């Protein structure tokens, strides 16, 4: 048996515009993904076998309630790997869960993508061969096959381009209001903006990417942050709206991640992050101080 352990990082969206709707019902996006240091952990012991034998164990503070059956994205990722490379596996997989679910942080997608990555390392396979299968598992899964921290996403989020970032990286204060926001419902409530307005917003993404490349300050590039899905969440989910309002009252640079429910704020220093995190703590909220890439500084 070969064993490997990898961190499965969460992500936030620094920019998210919905650019159209496809005939199959999926929405086209223009987004900037950023991986952060809040992570789940995947440990896989695996060998090739004549008969498939898969076992998934779920641990960690947020693992309760997750099913270790065929509905779990981790096991579906193992099956995708087996199908792509035409092999059967005997594998024991442990998923240590720290990323809240239904939070807009890509936890399930990261678990699946990191599972694919771990298996590729064990069996010396090219993970980019799995990009089409990763996209079928979920729109964000392909993101976690790349080593890069920042990636521009197009299509349904599966067309990915690594992004050069030279700007000083801020700390990220995440607040999860213990509210699950189903993505399907968010997109159902969304009204597509006019084509001209969508083009105007996507031009902001180009400005954001240029600003990050040019090593501009947080105050400069933060003016280009945007999430179209806020308008389909904030008026409908009180706990998320309250988070955003509380951050704004504290004059924080703030945005909802993905389709919610997590709202995050960016700070230049760890001291500012600690102060902001302390002020945002209320009953029913989970507060995390993280940064882009690397390991979590502090989990509260």
**Would you please indicate which residues are annotated as catalytic (active-site) residues?**
11, 140
Which SS3 state, helix, strand or coil, does residue 4 take? strand
Structure tokens at 169: 């990286």
Torsion of CA 200, 204, 241, 38, to 10 degrees: 150
For residues 71 and 93, what is the distance between their CA atoms, to the nearest angstrom? 15
Alpha carbon of residue 87 to chain centroid: 29
Give the closest residue to 6 by CA, choosing from 93, 83, 133: 93
Question: Would you call the peptide bond into 261 cis, given omega within 30 degrees of 0 as the criterion?
Answer: yes
- Mapping DSSP to helix (H, G, I), strand (E, B) and coil, where does residue 202 land? helix
Task: Please give the Cα distance from 290 to 9 (Å, whole number).
Answer: 11
Answer yes or no: are the C-beta atoms of 109 and 115 closer than 8 Å.
Answer: no
Rounded to whole angstroms, what are the CA distances from 133 to 86, 113, 187, 209?
14, 10, 23, 28
């Amino acid at each position: 048996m070969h064993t490997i352990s990898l961190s499965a990082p969460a992500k936030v969206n620094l920019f998210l515009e919905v650019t159209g709707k496809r005939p199959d019902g999926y929405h086209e996006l223009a987004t900037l993904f950023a991986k952060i240091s809040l992570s789940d952990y995947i440990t896989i012991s695996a060998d090739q076998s004549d008969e498939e034998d898969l076992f998934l164990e779920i641990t960690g503070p947020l693992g309760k309630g997750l099913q270790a059956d065929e509905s779990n994205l981790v096991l579906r990722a193992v099956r995708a790997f087996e199908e792509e490379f035409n092999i059967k596996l005997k594998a024991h997989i442990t998923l240590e869960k720290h990323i809240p679910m239904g939070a807009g942080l890509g936890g399930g997608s990261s678990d699946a993508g990191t599972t694919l990555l771990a298996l590729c390392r064990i069996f010396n396979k090219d993970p980019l061969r799995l990009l089409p299968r990763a996209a079928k598992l979920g729109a964000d899964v392909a993101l976690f096959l790349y080593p890069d921290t920042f990636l521009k996403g197009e299509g349904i989020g599966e067309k990915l381009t690594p992004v050069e970032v030279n700007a000083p990286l801020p700390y990220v204060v995440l607040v999860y209001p213990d509210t699950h926001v189903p993505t399907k419902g968010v997109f159902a409530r969304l009204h597509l903006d006019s084509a001209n307005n969508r083009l105007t917003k996507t031009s902001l993404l180009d400005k954001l990417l240029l600003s990050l490349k040019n090593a501009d300050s947080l105050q400069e590039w933060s003016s280009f942050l945007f999430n179209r899905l806020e308008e389909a969440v904030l008026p409908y989910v009180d706990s998320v709206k309250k988070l955003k309002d509380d951050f704004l009252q504290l004059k924080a640079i703030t945005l909802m991640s993905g389709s919610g429910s997590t709202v995050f704020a960016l700070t230049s220093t760890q001291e500012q992050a600690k102060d902001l995190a302390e002020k945002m703590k209320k009953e029913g909220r989970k507060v995390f101080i993280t940064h882009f890439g690397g390991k979590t500084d502090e989990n509260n």
